Structure 1
Amino acid sequence: MTRGRRPTKALTEAVGIACRRGSVENVAGRRGRAFDFIIIEPFRVVFVKVKRSRTSFTFPQDALAKYGREIACLHRVALTRVTAREFWVRSPAGEWQHFLIRHDSVIEVHADGTYIPREVLPLEAGSPAESTADGE
């Protein structure tokens, strides 16, 4: 069963983004390959799979649910100290989301590969957490 046409526009854009991180090697081969290209950074090699999506994902688990088969194929790439696996998704509006695929989790990362810190909810003045910190 086919899963749609090849994302050629998304791949072209993705290679442009990847070039900012290091040297990019396109991977020639059959359609069902585990990754589309390799980014060679100074201290690691990143295997990248690119797909298009009709929507953006709020949580990394949503991407895992929608693209479980593709992420499972990417998971076949050996993960070592000097390798990483990333899954990139382009929305119709041209927005990109990047996910780092680890052994036991999927984490959203920036385009440059750095982690996105978890958001911390702001504390309101006079909240119980603030008064405990003051020693009251």
Structure 2
Amino acid sequence: MTRGRLLVRAWELAEPIAEMRGIVQHFLREPGGICDFESLSPGLVSHIKIVCLRRLRCSLAEIGCELANEIDEMRIIASSKEISRELWLCSPRYAFRFIRVLDSALAELGRDGTLFPATGPVLH
């Protein structure tokens, strides 16, 4: 995970995306924190962690291997139809990719939080 300017800028760019999805509540940013913020919308609470990666153009299986620790941390949070655990991946050029952490798989999301229909969950 990258620290410093890239991550701070990624948080700044992620906030408007989260605000389009609902009310945003920030968590304290401290070492060992599981999530950066949550987005509250009718019927859905999304727990979101931003992770900076050098390369976003890879498979969900590769993301699962590279971010295994972060995924395991996210799985501590309860999951249901109304609770979403999400990794927002950010490239060095500030492009985003959105991943939902399911109980035993990963699924790609659109910017609005809906599952991509063309891709099903990938086991991890």
Unmatched tracts of structure 2, length 5 or more: 120-124
Alignment of 1:112-131 (within 5 A): 112-118=112-118
SS in structure 2 of the partner of residue 20 of structure 1: helix
Match of 1:38 in 2: 38
Show the counterpart of 2:28: 28
Which protein is richer in strand relative to its size?
2
Question: How far, CA to CA, are the matches of 2:115 and 2:82 in structure 1?
Answer: 17
Q: Deviations over 1:67-112 (max 9, x none)?
A: 1111111111111232110101011122110001110110011011
Residues 1:96 and 2:96 aligned together: yes
Distance 2:106 2:72 in 1: 11
TM-score for both structures, normalised by structure 1: 0.80
Q: Percent identity?
A: 24
Structure 1: tracts of 5 or more residues without a match: 120-136
Task: Give the alignment's TM-score, normalised by structure 2.
Answer: 0.87
Query: Conserved in 2, the CA contact under 8 Å of 1:57 and 1:63?
Result: no
- How many residues were matched structurally? 117
Distance 1:31 1:41 in 2: 27
Q: Which residue of 2 aligns with 1:17?
A: 17
What residue number does 1:129 align with? none
- CA distance in structure 2 between the aligned counterparts of 1:25 and 1:67, rounded to whole angstroms: 24
Query: For residues 27-106 of structure 1, what are the structure 2 equivalents within 5 Å?
Result: 27-106=27-106
Higher relative contact order (CA closer than 8 Å, sequence separation 6+) = 2
Partner of 1:132: none
Structure 2 counterpart of 1:5: 3
Distance 2:64 2:31 in 1: 20
Amino acid at match of 1:5: R
